[in-house]
Amino acid sequence: MTYHPIAFHTFLLSLLHLLVDGVCACGVTMSCQTISVAEACGVIVLYDVLAFGTQPLTGRWVGASSASGRRLKLATALLVGGALTCVLPVSLKLLTATIGAILLGMGNSLFHVYGGKYVAVVSHHDIRVMGIFVSTGAVGLALGIGFCSPILLAAFLLALLSLSALHLYYARRVLQESPLHVYTEEAEQSAAVQEKQQSPAAVPLLYLSCLMLVVAGRAFIGENVPSLRTSIHSTDAALTMVIVSVIVMAGKAAGGFLSKTWGVRNVFCVSLLLSAATFLMCPWHDAFVLATLLCVNLSMPCTLYLATKAVPGREGWAFGLLAMALLPGFLLGQLTKHDSTCQVLLVPLMATILLESLLLLYMRERRWRVLATSVVLNIFTNVPLNAFIMAYMVTSPLCLVGLECIVVVVEFIGYWLVLHERRRAFMYSLLCNSFSALIGCLFQCLLILFEISCGL
C-alpha cells in the first residue's frame, strides 16, 4: 500500500482536532455541573478567552519552529492535565474548574495553531486539506457537551494520546524522507515576493482585518440562527446537537473541495450570500436552519486559505488571528440571541447586505475592499437607522426619505475614502441605498396586502 504523507497526516490531525475539542468540551461541561450557574458562566468565558483569544500569541510561538513536535507534546500534556483536574474528587470545585479551564484553554489554543500550520505547510496550502482539518472540531464539541461522562472523557484521552504518538512518529519520518515539505527561510522569502505580486491585498494587515470581520460576523450569525424545533428530552437535544455539528463539518469540508473546483473567491462570495438568504427564511422551516449552517460554513476554509496565503511563513499566526476573531462574534451572538430587539434589527440588516452586495456584483464590482466596505457601512448605518425609526416610531414618508438621504451621504464618504473617486462613490451609495429601500418598501406593501387578504 502506498504511503501518502499529506493524506495520512490530514486524517490523523483531523481526528486529533475532534478529540481535542471533545476533551475540552467534556472536561469543562463536567466541571461546570458541580458549581453554580454564575460560576459556570465565568469558567466557560475564561476557557473561551484562553482557547481563542490567545491563538495569535501561540501562533507566533509555533511559527518559530513549525517542524518541532514539542508544541504538540506540550499541548497534549496541558489537555490531559486540564481534563484530569476538572474531574478531581475534591471539595474546592470552583478552584479545580478554573485551573482545568486554564489548562484546557491553553492546550486547545496550542494544538489548533500547531495543527493549522502543519497542514498548511505540508500540503503547500491545499484548501481541501485545510477544510478537512478545521471541520471535525464541531463534532467533538457536540459529543463532549451532549454526552459528557467520565467514560467518554477517558476514551477521548486514550485516543488522544495514541494518535498524538502516532502522528509524532510519522511526522519525524516525513521530515527525514521529504524535507521539502518544510519551508526554509529562502522558500519563505521567495513565497513572500510572489505573494506581493499576486496577492489581492496591498496591505496584508488590512486584508487580514477584513477576513477577521468576516469570521466574527460568521460566528455571530451562527449563534443567532434559530434553534431546531426538537423535544425537550435531553437525549433528543444531544442527538440534534450532533446532527447539526455533522452539517457544520460537512459545510467546512465541502467548502475546500468546491473552492478547488470553482475558485476560492467564487465560493467565498456565493456562500456568504446564500447564507444571508437562507437565514432570512429560517422562520419558515427547519430545513432553512440547516441550509444556513451549511452555507455559512462553506466559507470557513476560504478565509483560512486567504489568510495563510496573505502572510507566507506565518501560517500559525494567521490561523490564530482568525480563531481570535471568533471570540467577539460568539460572545456578541450569545448576548443578543434571545434579545427580541436585536433580532428585529438583524433581519433588515441581513436583507440590506444581501441586496446591496448583489447589486454591486451585478455592476461588475469584484474588488474585496469595496465589497467589505459595503458590509461595514451597512452595519454602521442600517442598524442605527432602524433603531431610530423603532424608538421614535417614525412613519412620515418625508422623514424616512430624509433619513435615507443622511445614510447616502455617510456611505458616500465611506466609499470615497476607499475608492478615491467621487463620482463612482456617489453612484454606489445612491444606487445601493435606493435599491435596498425600494425593495424593502415593496416587501412591506406585499406583506400588508397579504395580511389584508387573509383577514388578519
- Residue 277: pLDDT over 70: yes
Average pLDDT, the chain: 83
Query: Which stretch of 164-168, 255-259, 331-335 has the lowest confidence by average pLDDT?
Result: 331-335
Q: How confident is the model at residue 451 (pLDDT cuts 50, 70, 90)?
A: low
Amino acid 327: pLDDT: 87
Amino acid 185: pLDDT: 41
Over residues 174-208, the pLDDT tens digits come to: 555 444 344 434 444 444 444 444 444 445 777 88
Amino acid 437: pLDDT: 87
In the structure grid, which three cell numbers stand for residue 103, read together? 489548562
Instruction: Spell out the residues 6+ positions from residue 89 whose beta carbon is closer than 8 angstroms to its own.
Output: none
pTM: 0.82
Higher pLDDT among residues 77 and 241, named by residue: 77
Amino acid 235: pLDDT: 57
Mean pLDDT value of segment 75-98: 87
Of all residues in the chain, the percent with pLDDT exceeding 90 is 28
Mean pLDDT value of segment 288-302: 90
Amino acid 234: pLDDT: 53
Amino acid 332: pLDDT: 86
Over residues 376-419, the pLDDT tens digits come to: 898 889 888 888 888 888 778 888 889 889 999 999 999 999 88
The rounded distance, in Å, linking the Cα atoms of 82 and 105 is: 8
Amino acid 65: pLDDT: 53
- Residue 214: pLDDT over 60: yes
Amino acid 92: pLDDT: 79
Q: How confident is the model at residue 118 (pLDDT cuts 50, 70, 90)?
A: confident
Instruction: Spell out the residues 6+ positions from residue 237 whose beta carbon is closer than 8 angstroms to its own.
Output: 146, 230, 231
Mean pLDDT value of segment 320-341: 84
Amino acid 218: pLDDT: 86
Q: How confident is the model at residue 222 (pLDDT cuts 50, 70, 90)?
A: confident
Query: Which stretch of 302-316, 418-432, 438-452 has the lowest confidence by average pLDDT?
Result: 438-452
Among the listed residues 121, 102, 127, 8, the one whose alpha carbon sits nearest the alpha carbon of residue 63 = 121
